[in-house]
Structures are given as structure tokens and as C-alpha cells.
């Protein structure tokens, strides 16, 4: 697959803007992180619902109360996993998140009963799948971002999330470049443009680069060894690729090319964060074990 200069330039320019916005949200403080990933959360949910409606027309019949309640409940779950040191108007975000999640899930069920005189198990199931696919990973990412908030080591609270997102960025970029230059063997019929050469190259380069970064930062500001950086990179590169294939399968079932058009050359929110959504729970399990 030849490297198209025009496509590569468009992707590079929009990716540069994307990286600046992401890094500002990630590094500034926990509040900037919450604002950034709240936008990502709702953007992913809007696109997820559009895809589900195209796959199953019955889902379009879900009440407005159902549609908005499930999105807000998922967002409240993100707040629930925030470090207890963060407060809004004197109330811990964890407390707001717990009651909000409980209340809006109750409204979801109420909306189904009002609409259909009974709860539509099928609609609730698709919404529950969205909570697992979108809200849970972003909530776990929020937990990692705020876990070390207030630590005396500089940037310690930012490192776990940067490990995950950095691994995915490097893997995606290197897989695209390597696959474009030497890719010959298709990885899967689900995504014909992906190749085994690009996938393997992306994984190996992600592991090497992230291991180098972990070693370069050193123990004075980094609670994780280079080996942990490499392990997270391996987990994210492999599972992130599976996340990309999963979203490609969903789009194929829905009969669309992109989930949205928020970024020229990159598609929508789900197109941009499909790898992150699947990789985060696996990386969280590893990092939670290491932290513990």
C-alpha cells in the first residue's frame, strides 16, 4: 500500500492539533482532564447511538429519557471514580457521581416503562453495552488520572494515563507508517488496509519507544520502571489493535465509513478513541496490580 502524501499531510496536521488539545487537557490539572474526557465521553456516545440505530432500527425507538439518562449515568460513573480530594461546591465529586449514576439509571428504566409500558430488554441491553464500551473505560482512565493527585513527585498523577495514551499513539502512528511502506499481508477482512507488517512493526516500536521513555525519565519522577512502561505498551498495542478492528466491524455492520467527521482525515470520536476504549480496561488491570 503506497504512502499517499496528501492523505498523510492531512492526517499529520489534524493529528498535531489533536495532540496539542489532548496534552493540554491531560497535563494541566484534573479539572482540565475531566472537561476534556467529558466531551470525549458524550461525543463517543452520540456516535455509538447512531451506529446502533443503523444496526438495529428498534433502538431508534428508545425514549429521549432513555437516551440522555444512559449517557449522563455513564458520565456520573466517571465522577464516581475520581479521587476523593476533588470537590465541587464543597461536595466530593465521588458523592455527586454515585447519586447521579443511581438516579439516571432509574430514570432510564422509567423512560422505557413510560414508552412501552414495560422495559425493553433489547434497548436496555444495547445501552448497557455502551456503558461497558465507552463509559467504563473512560471512568477507569479517570481513576488512573486522579489516583496520585497530590503526590509529592512531579507529574506522577499524569504518568499512568500518558503511558496508555502514548502507547496507543505510537502504535497507531508506527503501524500506519510501517504498513504504508512495507505492508503486504492483510491483517483482517474487517479492515483490509491493515497489514501484519504494519501491526507487528507498530507493536514492537511502541514497546521500544515507551521503554526508552520510561528509562529516560528516571525514578526521581517516575514510580514505574522501564519494564512496566514496556508491559503497558505491549498490552495497549495489542488490545488497541483489537479495539480498532471492533469499531471497524461495527461500522461495517452499520454500513458507514466513519463514525463521524470531527477530525479531517481521522473521522469521528469513536474513530479516534476506539483503541483507547478497548485497551484501557486491560492496561488498568495491570497498572492497578502494579500500584497495589
The per-residue pLDDT for range 50-69, each reduced to its tens digit, is 999 999 888 887 778 888 99
For 271, the domain range is 5-291
In this structure, how many other beta carbons lie within 10 angstroms of the beta carbon of residue 31? 12
Q: How many domains does the chain have?
A: 1
Given a cut of 60, whether residue 152 has pLDDT beyond it is no
Q: DSSP 3-state assignment of 62?
A: coil
Whole-number Å distance between alpha carbons of 239 and 216:
26
What residues contact residue 223 under an 8 Å CB cut-off, 6+ apart?
148, 153, 156, 159
The per-residue pLDDT for range 106-122, each reduced to its tens digit, is 888 777 777 666 667 88
Q: Across residues 221-247, what is the average pLDDT?
A: 92
Element (DSSP H or E) covering residue 128: helix 121-130
Amino acid at each position: 500500500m503506497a504512502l499517499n502524501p496528501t492523505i498523510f499531510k492531512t492526517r499529520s496536521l489534524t493529528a498535531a492539533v489533536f495532540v496539542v488539545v489532548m496534552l493540554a487537557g491531560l497535563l494541566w490539572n484534573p479539572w482540565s482532564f475531566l472537561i476534556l474526557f467529558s466531551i470525549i465521553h458524550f461525543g463517543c456516545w452520540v456516535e455509538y447511538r447512531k451506529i446502533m440505530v443503523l444496526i438495529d432500527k428498534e433502538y431508534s425507538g428508545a425514549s429521549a429519557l432513555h437516551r440522555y439518562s444512559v449517557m449522563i449515568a455513564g458520565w456520573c460513573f466517571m465522577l464516581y471514580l475520581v479521587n476523593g480530594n476533588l470537590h465541587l461546591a464543597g461536595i466530593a465529586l465521588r458523592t455527586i457521581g454515585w447519586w447521579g449514576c443511581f438516579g439516571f439509571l432509574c430514570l432510564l428504566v422509567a423512560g422505557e416503562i413510560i414508552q412501552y409500558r414495560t422495559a425493553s430488554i433489547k434497548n436496555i441491553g444495547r445501552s448497557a453495552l455502551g456503558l461497558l464500551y465507552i463509559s467504563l473505560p473512560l471512568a477507569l482512565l479517570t481513576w488512573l488520572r486522579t489516583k496520585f493527585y497530590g503526590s509529592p513527585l512531579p507529574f506522577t498523577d499524569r504518568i499512568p494515563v500518558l503511558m496508555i495514551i502514548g502507547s496507543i499513539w505510537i502504535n497507531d502512528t508506527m503501524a500506519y507508517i510501517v504498513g504504508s511502506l512495507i505492508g503486504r499481508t492483510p491483517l483482517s477482512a474487517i479492515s483490509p488496509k491493515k497489514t501484519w507488517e504494519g501491526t507487528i512493526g507498530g507493536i514492537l516500536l511502541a514497546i521500544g519507544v515507551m521503554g526508552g521513555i520510561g528509562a529516560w525519565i528516571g525514578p526521581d519522577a517516575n514510580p514505574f520502571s522501564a519494564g512496566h512502561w514496556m508491559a503497558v505498551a505491549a498490552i495497549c498495542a495489542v488490545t488497541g489493535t483489537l479495539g480498532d478492528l471492533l469499531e471497524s466491524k461495527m461500522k461495517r455492520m452499520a454500513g458507514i465509513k466513519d463514525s463521524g467527521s470531527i477530525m479531517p482525515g481521522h473521522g469521528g470520536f469513536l474513530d479516534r478513541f476506539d483503541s483507547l476504549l478497548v485497551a484501557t480496561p486491560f492496561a488498568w488491570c495491570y497498572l492497578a496490580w502494579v500500584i497495589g
